[in-house]
Structure 1
Amino acid sequence: MAISDLELPPGVFARTYATPQALAEAQAIAVAEALRIAIESRGQATLVVSGGRSPIAFFEALAQQPLHWHKVTISLADERWVPINHASSNEGLVRRHLLRGPAVDARFLGLYRLASSLQQAAELADASLVELQPIDVLVLGMGDDGHTASLFPNSPNLELALQLDCPHRVLPMQAPSEPAERLSLTLPLLSAARLSLLAIQGSDKLATLRAALAGSDVASMPIRAVLHSPLEIYWCP
């Protein structure tokens, strides 16, 4: 099975790379070029990225791209509700692997907030993102269950988060694995990105993508909510 065998919606393009490193480097070049165009057009650019282990090579490649980084604002599609120095923190990951070298001059808007509850943390993060400009480039991943960002199937707030008129920028979400408590951007922000990139690796993720493209129930596979133009899918075996 190859990604070229998939029937993609109009305006959705797929690219195949031989290795994870080749994918990361190509993705970094594409993201930097899109940010460069945004800066030339609007004087600034907004990049929203996802966490996990897969993006590390991409972050490190992107950090070295020549760019007016002081004109770039970086934020997160989702976050685990853990302190920034926790090994699972997406903000910690970004600070270690992306906000370095030339990219150290970028502005960062994180989602984690110290609060008495996950709900309160989400409300604080939501309020802070009033400063977030429309997303120029959104970089997403996908889980084997079809989740993206922290929009997990069966999460209590999923139905609200997937509404295109959702009044919240950030909602508390529950993941099926530890750490279960998460914060996630909602669909209005995610779907309005000027360009989205989805990076996946391996045959299992390709099979998940195939299943997502074959159906329409967004609640069972939230990735379906973002499988529309303009989207570029980056895959390697």
Structure 2
Amino acid sequence: MAISELELPSGVVAHSLADPDQMARALADRVAEALSYAVATHGCASLVVSGGRSPIAFLEALSTCPLDWAKVQVSLADERWVDVNDADSNEGLVRRHLLQNAAADAQLLGLYQPAETLEQAARLVSHRLDDLHQPIDVLVLGMGNDGHTASLFPNSPLLAQGLDPDGAAHCLPMQAPISPEQRISMTYSLLATARVQCLAIQGPAKLETLRQAMQLETLQMPIRAFLHSPLEIYWCP
């Protein structure tokens, strides 16, 4: 299956690249262009990225893009509730692979907060995100084979609240079906403010997930909430 075979919703733009390296470069160029425009227009810019192994090549490519990084805030769509030095930390991933080269001067606004409970940590982070330049200028999401994005997982107890377009919270505690289970996720109401929204996926299995998501309810596959304009999908086989 190719992405051109999918009947995507109106306004959703799809980019098909030959391989992961070309996809990482194309996505990095698009994000850098949008961030440069935001800095020139508003004097600052905000970028929200996703964690995991898949974005590493993109983050490294983006780190070499020339722009006024000192005026760019970087945050995360979600975080595992682990210390930033833990191998599973998304913040640690961003520090290692993005905050280097030209991007070394960017300001990182992480989601991890030490607290007695995950719920307390999420409340602390939600207040901290008041400092994030909003609306978000650029959002880069990933997607799991179960249709989750950020840490908005199917069957998570607070999923309906996390997907509420009118929700007041910037982030919520979430439960993942895989370890580490305790997560903090930005909510749909915050993520959907992004002026530029990108989804980066690889392989035919992810296309099948998208196809299913377009036929199911948002609570069954949370990525469905984002499948509308101005989403840009970057895919390679």
Q: TM-score range by the shorter chain?
A: over 0.9
Q: Mapping of 1:118-137 within 5 angstroms?
A: 118-133=118-133, 134-137=135-138
SS of 1:142's partner is coil
Q: Which runs of 5+ in 2 are unaligned?
A: none
Partner AA of 2:148 in structure 1: H
Separation in 2 of the partners of 1:36 and 1:8?
29
Residue 210 of structure 1 and its aligned partner are, at CA, apart by 1.0
Distance in 2, matches of 1:35 and 1:92, equals 22
Q: For 2:47 and 2:11, locate their aligned partners in 1 and report how far apart those are by CA, in whole Å.
A: 21
3-state SS, counterpart of residue 57 of structure 1: helix
1:114 and 1:229 map into 2 onto residues whose CA distance is 36
Tell me what 2:33 maps to.
Answer: 33
Q: Percent identity?
A: 62
SS at match of 1:163: coil
Paired residues of 1:32 and 1:67 also in contact (CA < 8 A): yes
Give the SS at the match of 2:140: strand
State the TM-score, normalized to the length of structure 2. Answer: 0.98
Answer yes or no: is 1:218 the counterpart of 2:218. Answer: yes
Identify unmatched segments of 5+ residues in structure 1: none
One-letter code aligned to 2:157 = P
- Look up the match of 2:48: 48
Q: Name the CA distance, whole Å, in 2 between partners of 1:211 and 1:63.
A: 34
Distance 2:215 2:234 in 1: 19
Shift of 1:8: 1.4
Show the counterpart of 2:233.
233
8 Å contact from structure 1 (residues 47, 137) kept in 2: yes
Question: Number of residue pairs matched?
Answer: 236
The alignment yields a C-alpha RMSD, in angstroms, of 0.7
Q: Are 2:206 and 1:208 aligned?
A: no
Q: 2: distance between equivalents of 1:171 and 1:35? A: 27
Name the counterpart of 2:101: 101
In the other structure, the counterpart of 1:58 is: 58
Is the contact between residue 32 and residue 62 of structure 1 (CA under 8 Å) also seen in structure 2? yes
Q: Secondary structure at the match of 2:209?
A: helix
Matched-pair contact (CA < 8 Å) for 1:190–1:226: no
Q: Post-superposition shift, 1:214?
A: 2.6
Matched with 1:151 is: 152
Q: Secondary structure at the match of 1:214?
A: coil
Contact 1:195 1:230 in 2 (8 A): yes
Q: For 1:38 and 1:6, how far apart are their aligned partners in 2?
A: 32
How far apart are 1:70 and its partner, in Å?
A: 0.5
Quote how far apart the aligned CAs of 1:228 are.
1.0
Deviations 1:5-39 (A, max 9, x none): 11112221001111111100110000000111111
Measured in 2, the distance between the counterparts of 1:105 and 1:66 equals 12
How big is each residue's C-alpha offset from its partner over 1:78-126, in whole Å with a ceiling of 9 and x where there is no partner? 0000000111100000000000011010111000001101001101101
Partner of 2:116: 116
How do 1:187-206 and structure 2 match up within 5 A? Answer: 187-206=188-207
